[in-house]
Amino acid sequence: MGVERIFKDEANEEKGERARMASFVGAMAIADLVKTTLGPKGMDKILQSTGRGREVTVTNDGATILKSLHIDNPAAKVLVGILITVDLLQWWVNVLLLICCNDISKVQDDEVGDGTTSVVVLAGELLREAEKLVAAKIHPMTIISGFRMAAECARDALLQKVVDNKENAEKFKSDLMKIAMTTLSSKILSQDKEHFGQLAVDAVMRLKGSTNLESIQIIKKPGGSLKDSFLDEGFILDKKIGIGQPKRIENAKILVANTAMDTDKVKIYGARVRVDSMSKAAEIEGAEKQKMREKVQKIIAHGINCFVNRQLIYNFPEELFADAGILAIEHADFDGIERLALVTGGEIASTFDNPESVKLGHCKLIEEIMIGEDKLIHFSGVEMGQACTIVLRGASHHVLDEAERSLHDALCVLSQTVNDSRVLFGGGWPEMVMAKEVDELARKTPGKKSHAIEAFSRALVAIPTTIADNAGLDSAELIAQLRAEHQKEGCPAGIDVISGSVGDMAELGISESFKVKQAVLLSATEAAEMILRVDEIITCAPRRREDRM
């Protein structure tokens, strides 16, 4: 009786088998949600927000889909999204699993940029296999121990098969191109993957080994087709040059600022002034103008010929800048000025009393350019030589948003591959290699652990199976053929979804980064282990709003 009263009336507690099985079902449900987006023939999802704007996103990016599930009642989103009817499973189950699956996809996205869908699908399959083992009365800790042995064996199998061409610049660039095209083949950019692969490789090669993608800017401009997208050296700011301003500046000295330049007029709203006559109001306005004139003089004293401000610049200060031959750019978005400061070697300033303490940015040329029907400002010859801008063109904002997500994945993978240049074949080849070695380990391992190791092998094969299923192919036939092919030493066989058969991955040029595959394997195993350890779920009683007298 005393134990029952530990929790408040509305608190819930689920123990043992019921809690564990509920966790399994929820995790598998989330994996099934994103499973259909995997591979070159994966389908897209339409995500619609419930806010006032009812924003619509069309994507097949696993991380984007799972981020969109982060709402007040995750159960409703998951259960409605995948149409499962399992006695509602209590919404807390899905809270746990959203934390787990969303988290691993986010880490995968942040760390290596790609493989977000694979990591969730593999985690879901591991738990699907674990569910069968638990039902066969195998203890979760035995399963976890077997999974760990299998993961280590799978990683070693990949390490033995990696190819590293870092010493040969030409072969390494070819590897990067293959990885870029493989990454983009499952995205909206698949039709023009050679073009965008080349853009991504050129942009990443400019970074000279850095993984900081801040110096690669992506600008989206509706109009034209995706193939009209291009890479431009330097930095492009999505603003127009004002009337009466110089349209071209050479050897620019740039002051990037975040300061109020709109105080030369008395604002009607938010100001309360009592005066005896209109002449007194004019005096106040004159004083404001004088104050603004002094501020502009301080800015000009920095010896600049370009002033970029985060906030508005009213007509009076703009006129003063134009008279001094200084290009003044107002209302630049915060991301824009942060990146501009970074690539030109300057710092964002907000006070101007000590010119010697302000770090100015520099570039060789500032000029106005046209992209489609829009005017933009181009900064070339910037101090950070690796800076570049990729301009994306496309039919609509939805297409451009998805193209940006796809290109971001490719840029992340390539930047990581430049640091860790080990490469593997793709198309389900790594999973078959790992499954073969894990199967052999299972045969050598005595006791119940061997069942867990064997289950791990079956979960690995689920990735190429899903790729084939999503392409409308006979997965059972293809996996059987692949398994037979992989009995030969040095076999490069994988699934060719275009021809619908088993293909040679070396000839087809389908390659993946070792770092991505390793992250998928280890993250999925750790997530499955975390959920397997759960044997009790406690839900706190909801907080009640207290009525104040």
Token pair belonging to 340: 């501009």
CB 235 within 8 A of CB 382: yes
CB 229 within 8 A of CB 393: yes
User: Is 142 assigned a catalytic role?
Assistant: no
Measure the CA–CA gap between 292 and 295, rounded to whole angstroms: 5
Torsion, Cα 18 21 26 30, to 10 degrees, reads: 170
Measure the CA–CA gap between 309 and 466, rounded to whole angstroms: 51
User: Is 50 assigned a catalytic role?
Assistant: no
Number of other CB atoms surrounding residue 471 within 10 Å = 18
How many angstroms separate the Cα of 343 from the Cα of each of 94, 202, 221, 375? 43, 18, 22, 21
CB 336 within 8 A of CB 308: no
User: Is 445 assigned a catalytic role?
Assistant: no
**Could you say which of 116, 182, 445, 465 is catalytic?**
116
**Residue 12 DSSP class:** E
**Could you say which of 61, 114, 401, 496 is catalytic?**
61
**Could you say which of 37, 64, 117, 344 is catalytic?**
117
Number of other CB atoms surrounding residue 546 within 10 Å = 5
**Could you say which of 109, 175, 409, 469 is catalytic?**
409
Describe the strand order of the beta sheet including 388-394 as a list of residue ranges. Answer: 216-222, 388-394, 230-233
- CA nearest neighbour of 255 among 319, 313, 169: 313
Token pair belonging to 250: 């050479």
Q: Which backbone phi and psi does 369 adopt, to 5 degrees?
A: -125, 165
User: Is 114 assigned a catalytic role?
Assistant: no
Helix, coil or strand: residue 41: coil
Helix/strand/coil (H/E/C) assignment for every residue in 165-228: CCCCHHHHHHHHHHHHHHHHCCCHHHHHHHHHHHHHHHHHHHCCCCCCHHHEEEEEEEECCHHH
Which residues are known to be catalytic?
61, 116-117, 409
